[in-house]
DNA sequence: TCATTTTTTTGACTTTTGTCAAACAACGCT
DNA sequence: AGCGTTGTTTGACAAAAGTCAAAAAAATGA
């Protein structure tokens, strides 16, 4: 099911709703290793990722990159707090691969919500999905050992494993890179 | 600043808005060691905690209680996913002490949002605050050692430490109770 | 109050995970 | 293709955290 069908089915979109929507999104590309969002700046854009992959991260006190999320095809790329409240972002979002996306700005999104009220609900649903996935992640960090976290990760995200540097997966899972290397050998 | 003042200041409440609000909340008590919300049931209530303390938890595969959150005086007691979507709760919420609270049901909240639209925004703000605090928690679990997590916890929540069983703090921090006991001795 | 249950601490031990440094492999750029 | 950079593995070791069982302490309810 493509995106339009989903909107029609789930949110009762009319042709006009769809038109108002697509006219406010525009296709953009994000080359690999370039920042989609930079720490300290206000997130003005939200993207629907059509292809490629991104990750969000921040720097800890020893200047290590701590990865907090991977965005893959079909997901919404957003720094929730920064975009929703229009405050400076605490995290960076960077393209891991060349990305194709459909982008909407904050201002256009506000317009769109006025024109097509269902978008308020969609925004809420996206936020909620992110909350739920963060909750799952948090519980995993709280209850699983390093190797359990890794095994669950490769089971749920075999595609990410192929395409992302192990050190980013290690930091995402809260495991030292050398330890992760040994866990991988032992499986 | 009390609750009413906050609503007036932040959300421009009128006297009428306030009246519509208070008439839908009602005071309730929750005795210590009784469930405010039981796993598997739909959360029909949201509470503003005036006094006492609660915690949310679930059971892991070995039937250990895993505490996910502490609610203290002044906070909103809610199982976000269950209340917002009216789906069965995955977690339990239990009173740790006798609690006094102001309670509103889901249906009354929907009414209230219709009567006083600012409540939609308040709901969003509460959700967002919970998202942010979950994000902080998740980052701590990802990046800090057991003793760092504990030291941060007692710095931020000295009040909880006094009033809650250590085993619940241990499970909240993802630390074995015996290990936590040793960490405490070493500080 | 007192007995019972629950919680916390402790000891001895094992397992898991991290640290540091070096070697090795892969990648990106010209 | 080749160089330099970045990422990964490995070894030797150290530190952190978990396990099991028993003792001690504290809380609960009759």
pLDDT of residue B16: 96
Looking at the partner chain, which of B60, B137, B139 has a beta carbon nearest the beta carbon of A143? B60
Q: Which letter, b or e, does each residue of B35-55 get, where b requires 16 or more Cβ atoms within 10 Å of its Cβ?
A: ebbebeeebbbbbbbeebbbb
The reply to whether the CB atom of residue B174 sits less than 7 A from any atom in nucleic acid chain D is: yes
pLDDT at residue B167 tops 80:
yes
Kindly identify which residue of chain A lies nearest to residue B149, measuring between CA atoms: A142
Q: From the CA of B175, how many Å to the C1' of C9? A: 15
Cα A171 from Cα B91, distance rounded (Å): 28
Query: Which of residues 144 to 173 on A have a Cβ less than 7 angstroms from any strand D atom?
Result: 165-167
pLDDT category of residue A89 using cuts at 50, 70 and 90? very high
pLDDT of residue B63: 83
Nucleotides of C under 7 A from a protein CB: 7-12, 16-21, 29
CB B120 within 8 A of CB B113: yes
Map residue B174 onto helix, strand or coil. Answer: coil
Nearest to residue B78, comparing CAs of B67, B89, B64? B89
Can you say whether residue B40 is alpha, beta or left, with left for phi > 0 and alpha for psi between -120 and 50 degrees? Answer: left
Residue that is written with structure tokens 């506000």 in the block: A110
B128 with A66: Cβ contact below 8 A = no
The reply to whether the CB atom of residue B60 sits less than 7 A from any atom in nucleic acid chain D is: no
pLDDT of residue B82: 97
Contact list, B141 vs chain A (CB under 8 Å): 138, 141-142, 174
Q: Read off the tokens for B140.
A: 């701590």
Residues B42-77: tens digit of each pLDDT: 999 999 999 999 999 999 888 889 999 999 999 999
Residues A50-87: tens digit of each pLDDT: 999 999 999 988 889 999 999 999 999 999 999 999 99
CA distance A75 to chain B (A): 19
Q: What is the pTM of this model?
A: 0.94
């Amino acid at each position: 099911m493509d995106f339009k069908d989903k909107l029609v089915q789930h949110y009762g979109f009319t042709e006009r709703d769809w038109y108002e929507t697509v006219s406010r999104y525009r296709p953009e590309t994000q080359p690999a290793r370039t920042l989609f969002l930079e720490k300290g700046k206000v997130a003005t854009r939200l993207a629907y990722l059509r292809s490629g992959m991104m990750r969000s991260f921040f720097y800890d006190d020893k200047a290590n990159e701590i990865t907090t999320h991977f965005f893959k095809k079909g997901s919404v790329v957003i720094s929730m707090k920064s975009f929703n409240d229009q405050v400076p972002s605490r995290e960076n979002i960077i393209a891991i691969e060349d990305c194709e996306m459909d982008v909407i700005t904050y201002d256009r999104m506000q317009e769109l919500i006025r024109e097509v009220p269902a978008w308020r609900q969609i925004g809420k649903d996206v936020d909620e999905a992110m909350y739920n996935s963060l909750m799952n992640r948090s519980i995993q960090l709280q209850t699983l050992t390093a190797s359990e976290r890794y095994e669950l990760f490769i089971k749920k995200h075999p595609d990410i494993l192929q395409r992302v540097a192990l050190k980013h997966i290690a930091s995402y899972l809260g495991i030292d890179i050398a330890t992760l290397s040994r866990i991988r050998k032992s499986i």
